Structure formats: C-alpha cells, structure tokens
Structure 1
C-alpha cells in the first residue's frame, strides 16, 4: 500500500457495527425532525396533531427509543479509546456529554408538551407512550417553548460535532472520523 493511502480496516476497532448503525440512525432521525419541525405549521391552542405535526410526534417517539438504545449500547460496549491529546479528549467528552443530554432533553420536552395538549405519542404509530404531563398543564405548555429553543442548541452542538470531525480528518489527519464511518 502506498504511504498516502488510508487503511480503513485498521479503524474497525473504533466503534462496532451496532454503535455505528445507531449513530447514523439518530443522524437520519434528527435530520428528519429538523426538516419536519421547520416546515410544519405553528402549534397554538386548539391545534390538532395532524399532517406534519403527527409526523413530528412519530419521528420524535422513534428518536426517543433509538437514543435510549444508543445510550444503553454505549454504556455496555465501550469502543477502543481514540488516540487524542488530553485537551481534545476533555473537549470530546464534554461535547459528547452535551450532545447526549440534548438528544434526551429535546424529545422529552416535546413529549411533555404533547402530553399537556392531550396528544398521543406512539412508537411507530402503534405503541403508545405514557403521558408525562397532565392535559392543560401550563408547565407542559412551557416545555414546548423550551423544546424549540433547545432544538437550536442541539443544532449548534451537531454543527460543532461535524466541524470537529472534519477538523480531525482534514487538519489533524487522524482516524477519529473513520472510527464512526460504516
């Protein structure tokens, strides 16, 4: 092999196939949520969960399940550590921790808001999730506003995550990005 070629097989020890699948499934679901969220009508008193709003609820319910699976998988299947400097290791841990926190908080706040509106949140349109705030709850309605603001924080964290992956690939020229590629 020439010295300028990358041997991707040596990176297989980074993340296993399940972790990679769950990562990219979350990416797909988050992308769908942002597109749906930006294009769906505004939610006001008396709004019904139809059309794009129903899709947003359904994708959100799926996202909650996948994120929980991803966290459980990550806690029980640690990847081989990346070869990072202490500074980048700390920044990576903080960024990943904030990403996971936002990936849990944003859908939970949306779920609480849906519950306060009396809307049913169902996994794959079939399995109903329990209501997590009382119908008519002012706190549940306020969580909808926080859900919207935190979605922008999540968007910023995702942009930072992508920028860091590209920085590792094109500036540092290390294997960090390849560890999560299929």
Structure 2
C-alpha cells in the first residue's frame, strides 16, 4: 500500500494517525509516566490511610488517565488509521502488542479504582466530577485489587517497553515510516 507523505521544513510525515489520536496517545504517555513516578514515591497504603498528598495525586491522575483511555478507545474504534506498510508477521505482532496495551490500560486503572472504592475514597475527574464507586467500602476483594493493580502495573511497564522497542526497531533497523505515524 502506498503511503502518502509531505515535506514541511524537510521533515517527512507519513499518513496514519490523525492529530486527535496522536494527542491522546502522547497525553496517555505523559499520564502513565506521571503515575509511575507518583506510584513509586507515594507512601505505602495501609488500613486507615487517607487519600492525601501523593496518594491524592495518584487518584487524580488516574481519573484523568481513565478518561483519556476511554476517549482513545472510542476515537480508535471510530477513526481507523491507514494501515502501516509492514509484513504480515509485523502486522500480527503489532495487533497483539497493541491489544495487550489497550487491555492493560483498561484493567490496571480499573483495579486501582476498585481498590480506592473499597477504601471509601472518591475518585474525581479534575477534582470535580466524581466517578461512581465500583466496589463496596470495606470489600476484601476490592482491597486485593490494589495488590493486583500494583503487579499488573509492572506488566504494563513491560508492554510499554516492548512498544517503544518495536517503534525504535522500525525506525533504526527497518528504516520505515512506522514511528513517524505517531509523531507530531
């Protein structure tokens, strides 16, 4: 398939993802980076811990991440990019990796949300719009979701590493335009 491109200031851009998809992609990248930094530096959560300081920041960034991921999924479902010109093998690997990334981007925040709900904490988008509770306060299952949330966050980090490695492989080894499809 022929990929359309144009030159602006001698920089080449390949068609693929539109501006909204790229914006949401990079917003999610920033939010996840913030979540990992906050998650690694915030205090441990125990019974009776209040959602203050870095924990409150983690909840707020998480609420924003949930909204951004939902928007990204809706946008992706309704605005398909032109397919990349890659071999069938790389297309399958790409679909599997992206599918696992989307799954982790949904499951990890949902587990954190369930854990917060079980602690009686309200998650608010931009500190204003409250999300509903998705597990009862005091739920032992909701508390366990917090542990699983932490473990799966590491899985998400590995998937992100594979995603970045794949993009760099395309750029520096295959020397194709796959990486440029997501660059502004």
1:68-79 → structure 2 map (5 Å cutoff): 68-79=70-81
- The TM-score with structure 1 as length reference comes to 0.95
Rounded to whole Å, the distance in 1 between the matches of 2:109 and 2:94 is 23
1:107-126 → structure 2 map (5 Å cutoff): 107-126=109-128
3-state SS of paired residue (1:46): coil
3-state SS of paired residue (2:147): helix
Which residue of structure 2 lines up, in the alignment, with residue 3 of structure 1? Answer: none
Residues 1:103 and 2:72 are matched in the alignment: no
Alpha-carbon offset, residue 121 of structure 1:
0.3
Which residue of structure 2 lines up, in the alignment, with residue 94 of structure 1? Answer: 96
Rounded to whole Å, the distance in 2 between the matches of 1:149 and 1:163 is 22
2:156 to 154, 157, 163: 154
Alpha-carbon offset, residue 7 of structure 1:
5.3
Which residue of structure 1 lines up, in the alignment, with residue 165 of structure 2? Answer: 163
Rounded to whole Å, the distance in 1 between the matches of 2:17 and 2:98 is 15
* Deviant stretches of 4+, over 3 Å: none
Rounded to whole Å, the distance in 2 between the matches of 1:161 and 1:8 is 22
1:181 to 163, 180, 183: 183
1:16-55 → structure 2 map (5 Å cutoff): 16-55=18-57
Which structure has more helix as a fraction of its residues?
Answer: 1
Which structure has more strand as a fraction of its residues?
Answer: 2
For residues 110-131 of structure 1, give each alpha carbon's deviation from its aligned partner in whole angstroms, at most 9, with x where no partner exists. Answer: 0000000000100000000000
Aligned-CA RMSD value = 0.8
Which residue of structure 1 lines up, in the alignment, with residue 12 of structure 2? Answer: 8
| Structure 1, unaligned runs of 5 or more | 1-5
Rounded to whole Å, the distance in 2 between the matches of 1:94 and 1:162 is 14
For residues 132-152 of structure 1, give each alpha carbon's deviation from its aligned partner in whole angstroms, at most 9, with x where no partner exists. Answer: 000000000000000000000
Alpha-carbon offset, residue 8 of structure 1:
1.2
- The TM-score with structure 2 as length reference comes to 0.94
Alpha-carbon offset, residue 56 of structure 1:
0.1
For residues 42-96 of structure 1, give each alpha carbon's deviation from its aligned partner in whole angstroms, at most 9, with x where no partner exists. Answer: 0000100000000000000000000000000000000010001010000000000
